[in-house]
Every structure is written in C-alpha cells, then in structure tokens.
Structure 1
Amino acid sequence: MAIKISIIMLTYNRAHYLPMAIDSVFSQSFSDWELIVVDGGSTDDTENLIKNYQDKDSRIVYIRKDKVLGISKCRNVGLNLAKGEYIAVLDSDDIWCDKEKLAKQLDFLLKNSDCFLVGGGVIVIDEHGVEKSRYLHAITDEEIKKQILLRNQFAHSAVLYRRDKAQAVGGYALDVKIGEEYDLWLRMGRFGTFYNLKDYVVNYRIHNQGACVVDRLGGALDTLKIIKKYRHNYPNYFLAWIKAILRMGYYLWLKFTDRFRF
C-alpha cells in the first residue's frame, strides 16, 4: 500500500530531544506514514538512538550526511526521498502536541483540492518544555495572503503540504540560508490556496542561546530578499519592506554596539 504522508525530520546533535519528537509522531492517530530522519553528521548518540527506533518500526528511514550540506539541501534530501503524497515536517527539538494533527490536516487537504498547504497553531516552549507563549496565525487563504509578506504565517513543524506542488516549484531554495520554508510557501501560494487550523498542533522549542547577531542579521537580509522577490504576488509589500529594514537596522546596531562594548 502506498504511503500517504512522509514526515521529514532534520537533526544535528539533538539526541536529548529526539525521543520526544519521535514519540509524538508515534502518538498520532493517523498511522499511514514514514519518518525520514536526515542527520547532518551528529557526534552524539543520535545514530544509535535512531537505529534502536528502526529495529522496532520499519516506517523510520535514517539518512546520515557527514558532509555539511546546509539546511535547504538537507530538507531537499528528505523531500526527494519521500514516498508520501503529502509532506509533514517536524524538527527534532519540536513536539506535535495534538494527536489528531495529521488526520485533521489530511482531511482538510482531501476535501479542498485547491489548497496546497495547511498549518496550525503554535505553543512556544523553552529548553525544559515550559510553555512561554502560544499563538494562532491567520486562518483563511485571503487573510493569510494579506499578512504573509509582513510575517511568515506557518511554523514549519506545524504544516502538511502536497509533495507534488512543492516539487513543481523547485523545493527548498538553495540561495536562502534562513527562511527556506518561507520562500517555498510564497512560491506555492502563487498557484494554490493556504489554510491554518484553529487548533494548536505543535510545541515549538526555543533555546536560550539563540542565534548570534550575525545569524540574525543574515536572516533579516534573507527576509528582505524574499519579500522583494514576491512583491508583485502578495499585498503589503511596502509595509513588509519597512519592517524588514527596521529589523536589519536593529541587528546592525546590536552588532555595532557589541563591537565597542568593554
């Protein structure tokens, strides 16, 4: 029987969090899936941990890439290996908190052939699993497309999308270091509709160490490039451009003040 959903999980030295992520996949009520774990060359116990899971369940596929490929290339490795008609993403430090996530999202896509991508609400947790905040994005296609240049309306670990539609627009962009999924959504949205469930579907983990200022500056620059690329496809470009410029200015200021800090 053909696999319905392929779940792509990228990981690197996250053996501590992996069991929680993988167990949340096993907890899903929908079971016609494969889990593709793409390991970027972990030096901890990740490989042994995954192989232990493989011994118990043949639905798990483990791919190890010792050479540093970058996030987009690793995501494309998973996408190109996927056998499922639909793609879900779960980063290895996140947890699906709704056992009906896959079932509800698949049901929506099956009933709405024009919809390419469906997401859901996000619960933000810290390194210890303590909830810090929660939020819902815009729900309908019209609302999402009004706001998507101002802010990405989909958390990556919250989505389910059509594999053929993602591959038809080229998969994850290799020229984007931060925000590769955002660029993919914007390409897909030119040809199909979006939707977000009103349910909270994922615990999204943030880490205290966060990204360095240089990484954040690079992310802001990538965001500016992305919104400029799709300025003719979605509304509110000018407001989004101002927001991105202000964000870049803020990180430049942080970088400058850090350099002269005694």
Structure 2
Amino acid sequence: MSFLKELVSVIMPSYNSKDYISFSIESVLKQTYPNWELIIVDDCSTDGTPDMLAEWAKADERIHVINRKENGGAAMARNTALDYSSGRYIAFLDSDDKWKPNKLELQLRFMEENNYAFTFTSYEYITKDGEQLEKQVHAPRIISYQDMLKNTIVGCLTVIVDRNIIGSFHMPNIRTRQDLATWLSILKKGHNAYGMKEILAEYRIGNDSISNNKWKSAQKTWFVYREIERLNLAKAAWCFSHYAYHAIRKRI
C-alpha cells in the first residue's frame, strides 16, 4: 500500500518532562510503522530534560530536538515543530502519554483504505505511575464541526492529519485547549474527523489539582466558543451544556 512509504511527523512538546518523556519516546521507537520523524520541542525546561533529549537524539537519527529560547507554551512549541516537520502525515503525542506499538500502522492503513484526511482513535487512561485504569474513551465513527462544538472527545494524542488534503495548519497561541481550536478550524472548512474503535493510545492523568484543571479546561473551552469561534451567547451556552455533559461522562 502507498502509505507505507509516507513520512509521519510526530509532534511532541516538552516542558520539565524528564520523569515521563522517555516512556513516550520509547512508544514511538516501538512502532511497527518505521517511517517517522519525532520532533521534540523543549519549552525551556529547568529539570534537566534538554540533556536527556540530547542523548535520545544521538541514539536515533529520526529524533530531532529543538530547544526554544523562551517559554511560550504548548501551542508555540507545537507550531515550532510543525514548521520544522516535513512529513505528509502529522501525528501528535504529548511528553507524558504513550502509543500502542501498532498505532501508526493501523491508523495510516485506516486512512489510506478510506481516503480519510483527519482521523483519531479510542484511548485509555493510565495513572501517574503508568498503571492502566479501567477507563476508556471510545471514538465515535465520525465527528463534524457541529459535533465537535458539543463533544470535545478527540484526544490530541490520537490524531493524525493528512496535510496533502487538509493543507498546512497551526495552533492558535492560547495556553490550553489549543488542540480543540485547531480541530474546529479544520472541521470548519468542511472536513470531518473519523474515529477508530481500536484503543491505540494511553493518556496519563496526574493527581495534582485535578478538579482545578477541569475548571480551567472548562473556562478555556468557553473562551474558544466565544473568542475564537465567535458563537453568540445562546449558541455558546447550548454547546457548553453538551460539552459539560460529555466531559462528565468521559470521567465516570
């Protein structure tokens, strides 16, 4: 199949991630699909992460490390990686999450066989220590722009985008929910996102200020509705009520 020769650019932002990033990198190295480049952009870490990343870059020529000169947040780090990347396909993985070994191969096959340009997969939660939890997020078959406004179920760690079809894109420079805003900008052009039922990624949850982080996420989601998507108050409130419902369901 033609997808076997296509380069996948894996985008990974990093900030003070020395405790987990090696597990994330190893999950890319273990992929059954070998034609990838891993672009790690470190956002001025202070915990020794840059030294660790330098060693990884020496170990495999497919790993590229970019060290930012000033901290700008995950969106700017991802955009730096996007500008550097050369792959047809763009995949995302955060520095504390993991992929299953056949993630790229199965997902690219799914895209090739169906001519899909924007796909995502189901995923499961793991603890801060990497232990599996009995909690999974199951990807719906298809998500449109209007669907995404009501249900932010697409996990960034599971997304692959075909730039030959979607075109070049960047993330808006906001500190959180930049992934949601990005998916909305792509879907708003008339594309759909297609989900795979297979669980192909592991999302790590921490124990620090979880309720506070949920509140901040809700606030930023509202910001995306009102300031980026420019929804009127009634439409934003209607979408937010659905978002809240689905967010609670994801965590039950």
What is the match of residue 150 of structure 1?
A: 150
Distance 2:158 2:224 in 1: 21
What amino acid maps onto 1:139 in structure 2? Answer: R
Distance 1:237 1:78 in 2: 32
Distance 2:186 2:29 in 1: 29
> What secondary structure, in the 3-state scheme, does the structure 2 residue paired with 1:149 have?
helix
What is the match of residue 112 of structure 1?
A: 114
| Structure-2-length-normalised TM-score | 0.83
What amino acid maps onto 1:195 in structure 2? Answer: Y
Percent identity, aligned pairs only?
Answer: 26
Deviations 1:191-228 (A, max 9, x none): 32211111111110011004573x65443232123234
| Larger-gyration structure (1/2) | 1
What amino acid maps onto 2:89 in structure 1? Answer: Y
What amino acid maps onto 1:47 in structure 2? Answer: P
Pairing 1:30-179 to 2, within 5 Å after superposition? 30-97=33-100, 99-113=101-115, 115-132=116-133, 133-141=135-143, 147-163=147-163, 168=168, 170-174=169-173, 176-179=174-177
Counterparts in 2 of 1:120 and 1:21: CA distance versus 1, 3 Å:
same
What amino acid maps onto 1:92 in structure 2? Answer: S
> Is 204-213 or 79-88 further displaced after alignment?
204-213
Quote the offset at 1:230 in angstroms: 4.4
What amino acid maps onto 1:221 in structure 2? Answer: Q
Quote the offset at 1:148 in angstroms: 1.8
Quote the offset at 1:116 in angstroms: 2.6
Runs of 4+ in 1 over 6 A off after TM superposition: none
Counterparts in 2 of 1:38 and 1:167: CA distance versus 1, 3 Å:
farther
- Structure 2, unmatched stretches of 5+, are 246-252
Quote the offset at 1:134 in angstroms: 1.2
Distance 2:52 2:107 in 1: 29
What amino acid maps onto 1:106 in structure 2? Answer: L
* Contact 2:140-2:197 within 8 A present in 1 as well: no
Quote the offset at 1:75 in angstroms: 0.9
How well do the aligned residues superpose, as a CA RMSD in angstroms?
Answer: 2.6
Counterparts in 2 of 1:181 and 1:16: CA distance versus 1, 3 Å:
same
- Structure 1, unmatched stretches of 5+, are 247-262
> What secondary structure, in the 3-state scheme, does the structure 2 residue paired with 1:202 have?
strand
Pairing 1:202-213 to 2, within 5 Å after superposition? 202-210=201-209, 213=212
What amino acid maps onto 1:177 in structure 2? Answer: R
| Structure-1-length-normalised TM-score | 0.80
Deviations 1:67-99 (A, max 9, x none): 0112211110011110101111111100112x2
Q: For this pair of structures, how many residues does the alignment match?
A: 236
